[in-house]
């Protein structure tokens, strides 16, 4: 789900050939890209950039992963940032499994630079069930792109077979599901026959063993890292935006944001100009006289050239205040630099001169866990 498989081979070729292309000339598919200017790789509407966000989890070769009932293990792991440029911030590592409540794993570091590996230890047990015990690690990581920060969760599973209380049941197996480490794939040990430290060393893996990680999308939404928990829905990159009631020259075409995850809003026009308007807006926020439909220049002059950005981030819509103008979300003033999540039915107001204001309301269309359309409907 949400992988680069969302694109055909013609799209991938087109995107690689022309870094500026926003449509595939072969099939017409919109090409959504990584928000980092130094990357711009294709990203699926719900996916992450696999070049910028790529974690590798492995068990250290010294890991001893054998336990008897009632025993605890301290398992050493290594976490690698496979990206060549982008650092990751590791927000948390959570552990759960058979008979184990979900608990945060204490890690003393946060920053994981590109191409770097750092270590942490997971304490498990005491094991209360003999036989197959599962151990799951969920890693929450944040990456900063040029104008957005994205947080993702990834999970990896191990299976540990714990020896039962019956002394005749002496064989225990340890296996990594989904891992590929050749002949070391299954470790069979008999701890009753080997009680010394030396033998515990012999029980160690002997080689680093990879643990397959997968995006934990349900966890992301349920824990509030991505999407809207209450709606149980996420906004994909290809969501359709519709601007209702704005003058034709003030609004972008209805449809997805093809240039990136940011919609710039303010008094400045949509037209780029070398001198007065080097940073044109996408959506102009100006006040018009209701009966005549004419621009109220005096009332509009109070509005900042750049009022705010709407940002698609973490499968949600945010509004981020850009200046000192009177921007309000549901009547609450939003000062420069502050950002808020925008929900279905929110009211956005920009105060102009002479007590006049421009307001619009948001409306989400939701279908099967996805927000398929976001409407900005002008109310004044």
Q: How far is the CB of 53 from Zn ion (least distance, A)?
A: 8
What is the sign of the dihedral through the CA atoms of 237, 232, 308 and 288? Answer: positive
Which window, 39-47, 136-144, 175-183, 207-215, contacts Zn ion (CB under 5 A)? 39-47
The yes or no reply on residue 27 touching Zn ion (CB under 5 A) is yes
The yes or no reply on residue 29 touching Zn ion (CB under 5 A) is yes
Q: How far is the CB of 220 from Zn ion (least distance, A)?
A: 18
Which window, 47-55, 178-186, 203-211, 327-335, contacts Zn ion (CB under 5 A)? 47-55
Among 42, 44, 49, 342, binds Zn ion (CB under 5 A): 49
Among 3, 16, 18, 26, binds Zn ion (CB under 5 A): 26
The yes or no reply on residue 35 touching Zn ion (CB under 5 A) is no
Q: Which is nearer to Zn ion, 11 or 65 (CB)?
A: 11
- The answer to whether residues 322 and 281 touch, using CB atoms and an 8 Å cutoff, is no
Q: Which is nearer to Zn ion, 49 or 311 (CB)?
A: 49
Residue 359 CA neighbour count, 13 Å, CB half = 14
* 73-90 as b/e: b if 16+ CB within 10 A: bebbbbbbbbbeebbbeb
Q: Which is nearer to Zn ion, 11 or 67 (CB)?
A: 11
- The answer to whether residues 14 and 26 touch, using CB atoms and an 8 Å cutoff, is yes
Q: How far is the CB of 152 from Zn ion (least distance, A)?
A: 12
The yes or no reply on residue 30 touching Zn ion (CB under 5 A) is no
Q: Which is nearer to Zn ion, 9 or 183 (CB)?
A: 9
- The answer to whether residues 227 and 364 touch, using CB atoms and an 8 Å cutoff, is no
- The answer to whether residues 176 and 158 touch, using CB atoms and an 8 Å cutoff, is yes
Which window, 37-45, 266-274, 295-303, 323-331, contacts Zn ion (CB under 5 A)? 37-45
Chain-centroid distance, C-alpha 299: 40
Q: How far is the CB of 231 from Zn ion (least distance, A)?
A: 27
- Residue ranges of alpha helices (H) inside the chain are 9-17, 197-202, 217-222, 297-301
Q: How far is the CB of 48 from Zn ion (least distance, A)?
A: 8
CB-CB neighbours of 21 under 10 Å: 14
Cα–Cα distance measured from residue 371 to residue 240, given in angstroms and rounded to the nearest whole number: 9
Annotate each residue in 3-22 with x if it binds Zn ion (CB under 5 A) or - if it does not, as one string.
-----x-xx-----------
Q: How far is the CB of 26 from Zn ion (least distance, A)?
A: 4
Q: How far is the CB of 15 from Zn ion (least distance, A)?
A: 9
- Give residues with Cβ within 8 angstroms of 187, minimum separation 6: 65, 66, 173, 174, 175, 203, 205
Estimate the share of the chain in helix, then strand, then coil, as percent rounded to the nearest 5: 10, 40, 50
Among 42, 52, 141, 322, binds Zn ion (CB under 5 A): 52
Which window, 36-44, 87-95, 208-216, 249-257, contacts Zn ion (CB under 5 A)? 36-44
The yes or no reply on residue 37 touching Zn ion (CB under 5 A) is no
Q: What is the dihedral of CA 210, 212, 215, 218, to 10 degrees?
A: -120
Q: How far is the CB of 37 from Zn ion (least distance, A)?
A: 10
Name residues contacting Zn ion, limited to 253-272 (CB under 5 A): none
Q: How far is the CB of 56 from Zn ion (least distance, A)?
A: 17
Which residue carries 């050493």 as its tokens?
Answer: 76
- How many residues belong to the site for Zn ion (CB under 5 A)? 13
Name residues contacting Zn ion, limited to 131-170 (CB under 5 A): none
Q: How far is the CB of 294 from Zn ion (least distance, A)?
A: 45
Cα–Cα distance measured from residue 273 to residue 162, given in angstroms and rounded to the nearest whole number: 70
State the DSSP code for 251: S
Q: Is 28 exposed, middle or buried (0-12, 13-18, 19+ CB in 10 A)?
A: exposed
The footprint of Zn ion (CB under 5 A) covers 8, 10-11, 24, 26-27, 29, 34, 36, 39, 49, 51-52
């Amino acid at each position: 789900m949400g992988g680069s498989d969302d694109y055909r081979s013609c799209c991938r070729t087109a995107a690689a050939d022309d870094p500026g292309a926003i449509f595939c000339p072969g099939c017409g598919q919109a090409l959504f890209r990584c928000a980092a200017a130094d990357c711009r790789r294709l990203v699926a509407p719900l996916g992450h950039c696999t070049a910028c966000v790529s974690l590798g989890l492995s068990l250290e070769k010294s890991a001893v992963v054998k336990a008897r009932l009632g025993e605890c293990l301290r398992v050493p792991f290594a976490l690698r940032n496979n990206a060549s440029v982008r650092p990751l911030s590791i927000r948390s590592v959570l552990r759960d499994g058979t008979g184990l409540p979900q608990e945060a794993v204490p890690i003393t570091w946060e920053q994981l630079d590109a191409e770097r590996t750092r270590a942490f230890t997971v304490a498990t047990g005491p094991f209360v069930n003999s036989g197959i015990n599962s151990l799951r690690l969920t890693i929450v990581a944040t990456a900063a792109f040029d104008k957005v920060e994205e947080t993702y969760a990834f999970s990896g599973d191990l299976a540990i077979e714990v020896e039962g209380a019956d002394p005749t049941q002496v064989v225990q197996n340890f296996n990594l599901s989904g891992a590929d480490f050749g002949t070391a794939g299954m470790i069979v040990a008999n701890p009753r026959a080997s009680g010394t430290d030396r033998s515990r060393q012999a029980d160690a893996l002997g080689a680093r063993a990879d643990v397959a990680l997968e995006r934990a999308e349900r966890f992301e939404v349920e824990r509030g890292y991505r999407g809207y928990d209450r709606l149980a829905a996420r906004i994909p990159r290809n969501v359709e935006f519709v601007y209702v009631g704005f003058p034709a020259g003030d609004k972008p075409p209805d449809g997805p944001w093809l240039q990136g995850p940011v919609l710039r809003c303010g008094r400045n026009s949509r037209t780029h100009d070398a001198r007065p308007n080097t940073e044109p807006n996408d959506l102009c926020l100006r006040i018009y006289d209701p009966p005549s439909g004419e621009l109220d220049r005096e009332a509009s002059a109070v509005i900042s050239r750049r009022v705010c950005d709407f940002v698609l981030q973490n499968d949600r819509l945010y509004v981020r205040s850009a200046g000192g103008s009177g921007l309000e979300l549901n009547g609450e003033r939003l000062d420069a630099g502050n950002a808020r999540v925008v929900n279905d039915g929110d009211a956005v107001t920009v105060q102009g001169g002479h007590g006049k204001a421009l307001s619009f309301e948001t409306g989400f269309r939701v279908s099967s866990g996805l927000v398929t359309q976001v409407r900005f409907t002008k109310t004044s």
